Amino acid sequence: MAYNSVNDTQQQKANFIHIQIDEDLRNGKNESRIHTRFPPEPNGYLHIGHAKSICLNFGIAHKYGGKCNLRFDDTNPSKEETEYVESIMQDIRWLGFDWEDRLYYASDFFQNLHDFGVKLIKEGKAYVDDQSAELISTQKGSPTHPGDESPYRNRSIDENIDLFMRMTAGEFDEGSRVLRAKIDMTSPNMHMRDPIIYRIIKTHHHRTGNKWVVYPMYDFTHGQCDYWEGITHSVCTLEFEVHRPLYNWFIDQLQETGYRPRQIEFARLNLTYTIMSKRKLLQLVKERFVNGWDDPRMPTISGLRRRGYTPESIRNFSDRIGVTKTDGIIDVSLLEYSIREHLNKTAQRVMGVLDPLKVIITNYPENESEELDAINNPEDAEMGTRKVSFSRELYIERDDFMENPPKKFFRLSPGTEVRLRYAYFITCNNVVKNEKGIITELHCTYDPASRGGNSPDGRKVKATLHWVSAKHAVKSEVRLYDRLFNDPEPDGHSADFTEFINPESLKILSDCYVEPFVRNAKPLDHFQFERLGYFNLDYDTTSEKPVFNRTVQLKDSWTKEQSKE
Ligand code: ATP
Ligand code: MG
């Protein structure tokens, strides 16, 4: 299967929702107001799919000089928590968006919704059904067969009012009765076959406490909240397309003025190698496949942030993938491309050695050191330079040395000369091993005339290595993250998705050395470790050493590997 990558998605920028809005504006609809909303259910942390919806909804408000509300869709007290509410607000702000004073909760409208339910009963458009939700669903029929009418469908208005009030007062058990809209059991649209609009749930609600024991269903809540908040364009994902006639039916019953919100659907984001269902993400957390919602391997906003993603990179990704009307899967390497692109321009360069091999510069005086100039970011001259300390004992990367190198190996080996970045040319003269034959030290000499890494006489070296001064470097822990799943569609098989978890998704290196510049870093600061990738400082304080998370490698190793196959 081919997945969308950079080039084919960049074409999709023309956004069909903008075109529909332009048309509404031309027709003067809703007095030419533009008002959108982002309506998360506080039953989990936000993920990259939600980011697409956030960028789209707040983006529309921005583009048209309109407004975008944040609305918590908190109609199911059994799954919702305040922790989720707080994290959702933090994530939206971090992404760079602001709902100003327009924070709403569906629960703000519980009384209005209840009044509306009563109004429908009084108009003969709703009834209490004494059957269970399970039984009701067996009577729904199929798209080609009409459903069966409930034996309670033609109760009197008075009896319905009485029963609904008693439901509201808590007289009946959970599951024993529901309120249904009386629409059409023969409608070809299953959602119009007398949908349930209220059910009994006797659970504490995070905002209204124990005040209510009847709760409105999603379909009965969403459009009405849109209406009361003055939303003009209710943008949602494609699975709600079939709910649209019901959305409109409720608005028809409610409408008191010429204004009406309009539902527009778009394709949700799916990403390769990624699970996007909140239920499954919760499972990963609960069953400890990951270390919490903000584990850097999670596709949550908080996980991506901790991994080292920036708001800009996520917004750019969202622009790049565009908005479409057909479901597809985006290649996760496009997301990785976006962060690489942003960090390349902005990240401070430092040198860090992940797998240290000691190098002794035998002709460098003991107990001395000097400071050399290093460039902070070659892409941005304004970021300036810094000093790096050089001394007699250094670390280089173990795999930058080979005792018996093959022909094409140009890095350090006995007798060869290489450049230490920003420092000197060095030549390896001697290899020291322990009793197991493992190399413990290299003895090298440096050429004092090559200071700054410049050739003194035009002679060339074939490799430039990164390094740190042993006595100056900061001992650090580095966490190398890889994709959490080793299958491009972990959710697309009959097998349980957890079977596709990549056992190598986290590798912890506890003996790394990074140049002292990082001592002043704050959690979540970004760095490029030269030649190795992008890293950021973690906020985990359980380790005595600073912890760095690898955000991404410098190059896309997965795509390279796949094209080799
Ligand atoms: P559920 O309703 O099953 O808990 P959800 O993913 O729909 O999960 P919501 O909190 O209802 O979660 O989502 C809030 C908004 O984000 C909705 O408008 C929804 O359409 C949008 N959204 C959710 N997932 C995606 C996605 N993968 N791509 C784009 N938008 C999404
Ligand atoms: Mg939802």
Using the mean position of ligand 1's atoms as its centre, give its distance from the Cα of residue 560 in Å: 33
- β-strand partners of 385: 375
> What pLDDT does residue 3 have?
54
Atom 8 of ligand 1, residue of closest alpha carbon: 278
Which has the closest alpha carbon to 181: 217, 146, 213? 217
The alpha carbons of the chain give a radius of gyration, in whole angstroms, of: 31
DSSP string, 231-257: -SEEEEEGGGGGGHHHHHHHHHHH--S
> What pLDDT does residue 355 have?
98
Strands 262-266 and 467-469: unpaired
Closest-approaching ligand to the CA atom of 84: 1
Type and span of the H or E element at 165:
helix 157-168
Atom 14 of ligand 1, residue of closest alpha carbon: 40
> What pLDDT does residue 8 have?
40
Looking from the CA of residue 46, the nearest atom of ligand 1 is 10
Atom 23 of ligand 1, residue of closest alpha carbon: 50
> What pLDDT does residue 255 have?
82
Contacts 24+ apart (CB under 8 A), 160-165: 160/121, 160/126, 160/127, 160/128, 161/118, 161/121, 161/122, 163/128, 164/117, 164/118, 164/121, 164/128, 164/198, 164/214
Task: Show the domains of the chain with their CATH numbers.
Answer: 16-266 (3.40.50.620), 278-346+475-564 (2.40.240.10), 355-472 (2.40.240.10)
How far is CA 62 from each of CA 99, 259, 319, 404, rounded to the nearest angstrom? 11, 22, 14, 61
**Residue 39 CB–ligand 1 contact under 6 Å:** yes
DSSP conformational letter for 522? P
Closest-approaching ligand to the CA atom of 279: 1
Q: What angle do CA 128, 133, 138 make, to 5 degrees?
A: 110
**Residue 234 CB–ligand 1 contact under 6 Å:** no
Q: For residue 236, with 0-12 CB atoms within 10 Å meaning exposed, 13-18 middle and 19 or more buried, which class applies?
A: buried
Atom 15 of ligand 1, residue of closest alpha carbon: 40
Give the separation between CA 258 and CA 230, rounded to whole angstroms.
12
**Residue 40 CB–ligand 1 contact under 6 Å:** yes
Using the mean position of ligand 1's atoms as its centre, give its distance from the Cα of residue 96 in Å: 19
Give the separation between CA 121 and CA 118, rounded to whole angstroms.
5
Using the mean position of ligand 2's atoms as its centre, give its distance from the Cα of residue 40 in Å: 7
Closest-approaching ligand to the CA atom of 236: 1
Using the mean position of ligand 1's atoms as its centre, give its distance from the Cα of residue 132 in Å: 28
Closest-approaching ligand to the CA atom of 491: 1
Using the mean position of ligand 1's atoms as its centre, give its distance from the Cα of residue 170 in Å: 32
CB atoms within 10 A of CB 523: 13
> What pLDDT does residue 555 have?
86
Mapped to the 3 state alphabet, what secondary structure does 335-400 carry?
HHHHHHHHHHHHCEEECEECCEEEEEECCCCCCCEEEEEEECCCCCHHHCEEEEEEECEEEEEHHH
3-state secondary structure of 57: helix
Give the separation between CA 180 and CA 154, rounded to whole angstroms.
12
Q: Which of 37, 41, 80 to mutate to test the pocket of ligand 1 (most atoms within 8 A of CB)?
A: 41
Residues known to be catalytic = 41, 268, 278
Closest-approaching ligand to the CA atom of 50: 1
Give the separation between CA 99 and CA 88, rounded to whole angstroms.
12
**Residue 71 CB–ligand 1 contact under 6 Å:** no
**Residue 243 CB–ligand 1 contact under 6 Å:** no
Q: Output the tens digit of pLDDT for each of the chain's 565 residues.
A: 455 544 443 333 558 999 999 999 999 999 999 999 999 999 999 999 999 999 999 999 999 999 999 999 999 988 878 899 999 999 999 999 999 999 999 999 999 999 999 999 999 999 999 999 999 999 999 999 999 999 999 999 999 999 999 999 999 999 999 999 999 999 999 999 999 999 999 999 999 999 999 999 999 999 999 999 999 999 999 999 999 999 999 999 998 788 999 999 999 999 999 999 999 999 999 999 999 999 999 999 999 999 999 999 999 999 999 999 999 999 999 999 999 999 999 999 999 999 999 999 999 999 999 999 999 999 999 999 999 999 999 999 999 999 999 999 999 999 999 999 999 999 999 999 999 999 999 999 999 999 999 999 999 999 999 999 999 999 999 999 999 999 999 999 999 999 999 999 999 999 999 999 999 999 999 999 999 999 999 998 888 899 999 999 998 766 544 443 3
Per the CB < 8 A criterion, the answer to whether 54 and 86 are in contact is no
Using the mean position of ligand 1's atoms as its centre, give its distance from the Cα of residue 40 in Å: 7
**Residue 398 CB–ligand 1 contact under 6 Å:** no
Please list, in sequence order, all residues whose beta carbon lies within 8 angstroms of the beta carbon of residue 127, skipping any fewer than 6 positions away: 121, 150, 152, 153, 154, 155, 160, 179, 180, 182
Atom 22 of ligand 1, residue of closest alpha carbon: 50
pTM over 0.95: no
Helices 110-122 & 157-168, crossing angle to 10 degrees?
160
Q: Which of 85, 237, 272 to mutate to test the pocket of ligand 1 (most atoms within 8 A of CB)?
A: 237
Q: Which of 45, 105, 268 to mutate to test the pocket of ligand 1 (most atoms within 8 A of CB)?
A: 268
Using the mean position of ligand 2's atoms as its centre, give its distance from the Cα of residue 395 in Å: 52
Strands 35-38 and 67-72: parallel
**Residue 274 CB–ligand 1 contact under 6 Å:** no
**Any idea which residue has 């565009």 for tokens?**
322
Mapped to the 3 state alphabet, what secondary structure does 96-164 carry?
CCCCCCCEEEHHHHHHHHHHHHHHHHHCCCEEEECCCHHHHHHCCCECCECCCCCCCCCCCHHHHHHHH
**Residue 53 CB–ligand 1 contact under 6 Å:** yes
Per the CB < 8 A criterion, the answer to whether 476 and 548 are in contact is yes
Per the CB < 8 A criterion, the answer to whether 445 and 427 are in contact is yes
**Residue 413 CB–ligand 1 contact under 6 Å:** no
Using the mean position of ligand 2's atoms as its centre, give its distance from the Cα of residue 172 in Å: 28
